[in-house]
Amino acid sequence: MARCSFLGLGVMGAPMARYLVKAGHKVVVWNRTQAKSEAWLEAVGSKKANIANDPAQAAFGSEFVFSCLGDDPDVQSVYAELQPTMGGGMVLVDHTTASADLARQLDEAAIKKGALFVDAPVSGGQAGAENGQLTIMCGGRDEAFKKAEPVMRAYAKQITHIGGPGAGQQAKMVNQICIAGIVQGLSEGLAFAQNAGLDPAKVIEAISKGAAQSWQMENRWQTMVEGKFDYGFAIDWMRKDLRIALEEARANGSKLPVAALVDQFYADVQDMGGSRWDTSSLIARLTKGGTGNGEGGE
């Protein structure tokens, strides 16, 4: 079993770190809010788990350092603190959804210190993390991925090595671009059905096994119709992810008119007070509904 550290115990990181312990690994955790680390340790209740006062202390002596943070500045800050303990064949795995440029910078910095780096953003939301069923898109050198992949199995159902440093982050951008268009289409379809006086349940029954089928339809149509949006990934985080994707698109010459439009629709929902509603709340701007109070995050 490996000596691991996990940095960032949000709604995604806390269960991921718990699954590492469950798999038998020795885990030291750190979170900016110490109370979260203490609560995590108490809930895990394992002699193989411990908490640290700062990222460097958490990573000291670790073979694998995992992180799941907020945005590029958060990752940069934490990795700056890791510099004194980085090296000796250590493998650093960042699960944050961040920019591809930052991933490449972190890879280069790790190599200079004798360490390895994998950018490994995840998909599956809070439920996927809680159930140990995340999908992980990885970028990095072959050696780094081969070492990290068996340990990540503790909390993943699918792990794919997309390519070199930054490729994992770019794949996550594709994921978010696709989700944005799917949720908007589903929102418009459900709002149309309601305005036409149709029974949404019967409509979904009719179309959900055909070409319109999607995970969002199967898992979110009913809560969308009910105006309940506290089921996972928050709009604040989705807008962060779309911002990163749109910046990357400008850099590589891609045209993302739908993603850009949906990003503005999410801004409308934020203005309605829905910053912490989940991403399915796009329908709220079409129906003026919504009672969500979601706490979904990265």
Residues 153, 183 within the same domain: no
Shared domain for 134 and 176, answered yes or no, is: no
Residue 253 phi, psi (nearest 5): 85, 15
Segments forming the whole domain that contains residue 116: 3-164
51 and 176 assigned to the same domain: no
293 occurs within a structural domain: no
Number of domains in the chain: 2
Do 8 and 150 sit in the same domain of this protein?
A: yes
Closest CA to 149 of 88, 64, 85: 64
Tokens coding 95: 């699960």
Q: Is residue 294 part of a domain?
A: no
pLDDT digit string, tens, across residues 179-212: 999 999 999 999 999 999 999 999 999 999 999 9
What pLDDT sits at residue 158? 98
* pLDDT for position 295: 39
Q: What is the pLDDT at residue 289?
A: 57
Predicted local distance difference test score (pLDDT) of residue 232? 77
Q: What is the DSSP letter of 233?
A: S
Mean pLDDT for the stretch of residues 35-60: 96
Residues 174 and 101 in one domain: no
pTM: 0.93
- Cα distances (Å, whole numbers) of residue 262 to 50, 194, 246, 283: 42, 21, 12, 11
Q: Do residues 209 and 136 both lie within one domain?
A: no
Which residues belong to the active site?
172
| pLDDT value for 101 | 98
Please indicate, yes or no, whether residues 151 and 20 belong to a single structural domain of this protein: yes
Q: Kindly report the CATH number assigned to the domain that includes residue 175.
A: 1.10.1040.10
Q: What is the pLDDT of residue 298?
A: 43
Query: 152 with 189, same domain?
Result: no
Residues 154 and 233 in one domain: no
